[in-house]
Amino acid sequence: MTIARILTIGSSDSGGGGGIEADIKTVTMFGGHAMAAVTAVTVQNTLAIDAVHSVPADVVVAQIDAIVRDIGVDAVKIGKIRSLETVSAIAERLETIGAPIVFDPVFMTASGAPFADADDVEVFERLMRVASLVTPNLSELEALGGRDAVLAHGCHLLIKGGQGEGDMITDQLWSPAGMIAELQGKIFDTVDAHGAGCTLATAVACRLGQGFDVAAAFRDGVRFVRLAILSAPGFGGGCGPLGHSAVRDFWDEDEPVPGIALNQVTVGAADYSASVEFYKTLGLRQIVNAPANGYARFEADNGATFSIHQGAERGGVVYLESPRLDGWVRDLVEQGVAFDQLPRDEDWLWREARLRDPAGNVICLYRAGENRRYPPWRIA
């Protein structure tokens, strides 16, 4: 398979949460080759940005030129650019790039305070004219003149983080002809979301560079970001980074099977406490403790997991994971395979189907939910 070459243009985040650092991690997780044109070097951590040193416009353009003339570019993501001279130079250089361009207009703080005034916004319009997709949050969208003003440039528009009903958040994808798609998800109660906007824009750029249409790129990008937020490692005392490297199953149900993963084996237990102590004594690390459910899970050094369940059927339960569970089950049913349970959503947010092998052992086929790595009862 050809590896997509993704050029990211933006500032370096010394804390690793956002900017170029978040972009590179995202491109890597999508199987692409990350390339960077650095526009500024920042002194920051999870608590504050202490200093910014801008890179001269001619040096930024020289970075782009060096990449284009040798390696080539399949998609571009543009992030934070503090120098308006640099904005103009980048816009002029990208007019002939011949690849999808995703522009994340980062000129508003999280509180909505502007980095740019009205005259400066006119310069950003040059980037919107060359962009395939613009990805503002609500404050940035207002500063750009609103939805119609952005779409008037002929680009697509991804509106990030609109408030839905209750505890839901909404992301929308628009074309000049109208809304293409809308995704809603539960609002996460966390401060560890630094770099979420960078990550989303870069994820979409990756998919566009890989040949996906904009709707599929939007869908996979949003799912990847949500899983990365849930997998945040909890670093620092402020707004911490996402857990890019922990994300695995962000494929869509309709895509080809990326592979079936053996996730864990579960065996029955008669005495919960005694069984927990036994497997801990063997050297397995306990990562889930749910005595009320009679369930505990352990992790081996290689990341594979093993669990016990008081009352589980003898012979064990084998769990096989696929991001396209329903399609997998349909294929098996068409081949005459009998199921005890067809795919259904469970209370723990997984979707499961069950059948038995010729010996009577239970086989669980499933697609994990957003909380696959960090369910509410996880202890490590």
Delineate the domains of the chain, giving CATH numbers in brackets.
5-246 (3.40.1190.20), 261-367 (3.10.180.10)
Region of residue 360 (phi > 0: left; psi between -120 and 50: alpha; otherwise: beta): left
Report the pLDDT value the prediction gives residue 350, as an integer from 0 to 100.
85
Work out the number of other CB atoms within 10 angstroms of the CB of residue 287: 16
Q: If you average pLDDT over every residue of the chain, what do you get?
A: 87
pLDDT tens for each residue of 12-71 = 999 999 999 999 999 999 999 999 999 999 999 999 999 999 999 999 999 999 999 999
Task: Give CA–CA dist 219/172, Å, rounded.
Answer: 10
To the question of pTM greater than 0.85 for the whole model, the response is: no
Q: What is the pLDDT of residues 144-199, one digit of tens each?
A: 999 999 999 999 999 998 655 678 899 999 999 999 999 998 888 899 999 999 99
Q: Among positive and negative, which fits the CA dihedral 210, 217, 349, 274?
A: positive
Contact 198, 19 (CB under 8 A): yes
pLDDT grade, residue 379 (50/70/90)?
Answer: low
pLDDT of residue 203: 98
The neighbour count for residue 344, using CB atoms within 10 Å, is 10
Handedness of CA 239, 245, 249, 250 (dihedral sign): positive
pLDDT in tens, 94-129: 999 999 999 999 765 443 445 555 556 777 888 999
Longest C-alpha distance within the chain, in Å? 73
Please check the confidence at residue 255 and state whether its pLDDT lies above 60: no
